Amino acid sequence: MQVKVVKFGGSSLADAEHFRQVASIIKADPARRYVVPSAPGKRHKDDTKVTDMLYSCYEKIRNHENIDELYEQIKARYNGIIADLGMNFDISGELEYVKNAMMHRSGRDFAASRGEYLNGLILSKYLGYSFIDAENVIFFKENGSFDEEKTNRVLAEELMQHKNAVIPGFYGVMPNGTIKTFSRGGSDITGSIVARAAQADLYENWTDVSGFMMADPRIIEDPCAIQTITYRELRELSYMGATVLHEDAIFPVRYAGIPINIRNTNEPTAQGTMIVAETPDYDTDHVITGIAGKKGFSVITIEKDMMNSEIGFGRKVLEVLEENEISFEHLPSGVDNMSIVVATGALDGRREKILGAINRMVRPDHISIEDGLALVAVVGRAMVKAKGTAARVFDAISNADVNIRLIDQGSSEISIIVGVEESDFNTALSAIYREFVK
Ligand code: ASP
């Protein structure tokens, strides 16, 4: 029989009505055996996520402020869900214990993690599933990194003992027994880890959108959804700012070859987006899979006659960045010039130092730093086969009267990166979308 791991985000578990919807999704398919919940999210635009309330509690305790009122609101969220579901379940002992533990300085991560823990308890009771506390099965190493090997071993063994189980997302345990969380949105990672340990056929990630859109809906009105995307394409798009899934959630399932299906809890019949390792064909409706982009980049341009024959030139320049702990994003270069694209924020307070060091190291004819660059990434596995894609991208941009400041096409041929003025960002993105999609 198939095994599916299903993760539900905070907006999918924000209130009792959503809990009911989630339960009906889970029960509709017996393969949905392992469930990873987030903490209750926002019920409406101005609402506060439980995780954020817990972080606030922690801050208040640190500042010796009273948390009674705030904690009552947290209690009300959980008790409200239980009451509205008509459950016969008393969580008050747990709630008191959590409050006490927070008051006794059990740490920031402990406080934040209780959102998922308490929600997991309620959901497991509601579904009639076992509850597996993530603290017993998700491990971090001494240095704070995720202990993949131990987790996979212990978790796989534990899952085998349960036909169905709920495993709260977002946290695990340090070797000394303290609770540690992943970064924000980290329940996605837990879901992926559980899918790998369960050797699942599919990791369903249920959220409040019907999958990945081809472009940011804040820029393109009602963009088309992406039906299938490869892990590599997704990496390119999420790195450039497209967010639906936590970036680190890709790795555990990617290595195990388990596809991820992004689904919409509020529209369960929509097929959402499938994230897969490889597609044998290039079965996309469009040449491109998606467009994403980000503002806030700077370009360091270095020019020197005969640069191309100077051995070690590039290494020396990059060494300067390394010494200043700056990672570079792109490195387009010509015969006698080299450009390095870095996040503008990374240069804060270090511009003069970097310029001076590069001058000393390679004695360029000219060096400059220009800010205000936005990058647009056009991503698509079908570009490998389609001729003239780059020309279409450039034409679309120049027909929209936008000046291209930089071009970078990686050797993988699944993305073309174009740099434009930040003020031209939306225009460039819309022009490319119109050219390739509609
Ligand atoms: N509740 C956590 C957060 O708000 C983790 C998650 O939702 O994935 O970041």
Model confidence pLDDT, tens digit, residues 296-316:
999 999 999 988 888 999 999
Q: Do β-strands 273-276 and 290-303 pair in parallel, antiparallel, or remain unpaired?
A: unpaired
Name which CATH class applies to 290-436.
Answer: alpha beta
Q: State in Å: Cα 336 to ligand 1 middle.
A: 48
Alpha helices (H) in 173-328, listed in sequence order:
187-197, 231-239, 250-256, 313-323
Q: Which two tokens stand for residue 421?
A: 């003025």
CB-based contacts of 72: which residues, under 8 Å, 6+ apart? none
- The atom number, within ligand 1, closest to the CA of 185 reads 8
Q: Do β-strands 32-37 and 165-166 pair in parallel, antiparallel, or remain unpaired?
A: parallel
Helix, strand or coil, per DSSP, at residue 101: helix
Q: Is the dihedral of CA 189, 194, 196, 202 positive or negative?
A: negative
Q: What is the best residue among 13, 35, 48, 49 to mutate for testing ligand 1's pocket, by most ligand atoms within 8 Å of CB?
A: 49
With a 6 A CB cut-off, is 38 part of the ligand 1 pocket?
A: yes
Would you state the pLDDT for residue 384?
A: 81
Residue 400, CA distances (Å) to 367, 409, 424 in order: 30, 21, 9
Q: State in Å: Cα 264 to ligand 1 middle.
A: 17
Q: State in Å: Cα 294 to ligand 1 middle.
A: 23
Per-residue pLDDT of the chain (438 residues; tens, 9 = 90+): 899 999 999 999 999 999 999 999 999 999 999 999 999 999 999 999 999 999 999 999 999 999 999 999 999 999 999 999 999 999 999 999 999 999 987 899 999 999 999 999 999 999 999 999 999 999 999 999 999 999 999 999 999 999 999 999 999 999 999 999 999 999 999 999 999 999 999 999 999 988 899 999 889 999 999 999 998 898 888 877 777 889 889 889 998 999 999 999 999 999 999 999 877 665 566 789 999 999 999 999 999 998 888 899 999 999 999 999 999 988 988 889 999 999 999 999 999 999 999 999 999 999 999 999 999 999 998 888 888 899 999 999 999 999 999 888 766 778 999 999 999 999 999 999 999 998
CB-based contacts of 36: which residues, under 8 Å, 6+ apart? 5, 6, 7, 8, 166, 167, 168, 169, 187, 190, 191, 194
CB 371 within 8 A of CB 344: yes
Q: Do β-strands 32-37 and 4-8 pair in parallel, antiparallel, or remain unpaired?
A: parallel
Strand partners, 373: 297, 421
Q: State in Å: Cα 338 to ligand 1 middle.
A: 41
User: Rounded distance, CA 348 to CA 370, Å?
Assistant: 13
- The atom number, within ligand 1, closest to the CA of 184 reads 9
With a 6 A CB cut-off, is 191 part of the ligand 1 pocket?
A: no
Would you state the pLDDT for residue 285?
A: 67
With a 6 A CB cut-off, is 39 part of the ligand 1 pocket?
A: yes
Q: How many residues does the chain have?
A: 438
Strand partners, 208: none
- The atom number, within ligand 1, closest to the CA of 188 reads 8
User: Rounded distance, CA 156 to CA 225, Å?
Assistant: 34
Would you state the pLDDT for residue 438?
A: 83
Query: Could you count the other beta carbons within 10 Å of the beta carbon of residue 109?
Result: 19
With a 6 A CB cut-off, is 117 part of the ligand 1 pocket?
A: no
Q: State in Å: Cα 41 to ligand 1 middle.
A: 8
Which CATH architecture best describes the domain 4-276?
3-Layer(aba) Sandwich (3.40)
Spans of all domains in the chain: 4-276, 290-436
User: Rounded distance, CA 405 to CA 402, Å?
Assistant: 9
- End-to-end CA distance of the chain: give it in Å, rounded: 42
Would you state the pLDDT for residue 210?
A: 86
Q: What is the best residue among 35, 47, 50, 51 to mutate for testing ligand 1's pocket, by most ligand atoms within 8 Å of CB?
A: 51
With a 6 A CB cut-off, is 381 part of the ligand 1 pocket?
A: no
With a 6 A CB cut-off, is 12 part of the ligand 1 pocket?
A: no
Q: State in Å: Cα 437 to ligand 1 middle.
A: 33
DSSP code of residue 40: -
With a 6 A CB cut-off, is 192 part of the ligand 1 pocket?
A: no
Would you state the pLDDT for residue 226?
A: 92
Q: Do β-strands 415-421 and 404-409 pair in parallel, antiparallel, or remain unpaired?
A: antiparallel
DSSP states along 132-201:
--GGGT-BB-TTS-B-HHHHHHHHHHHHHT-SSEE--SSEEE-TTS-EEE-STTTHHHHHHHHHHHTT-S
Residue 196, CA distances (Å) to 1, 27, 299, 347, 423 in order: 16, 22, 40, 39, 43
Closest residue CA from atom 5 of ligand 1:
185
Q: Is the dihedral of CA 357, 359, 362, 364 positive or negative?
A: positive
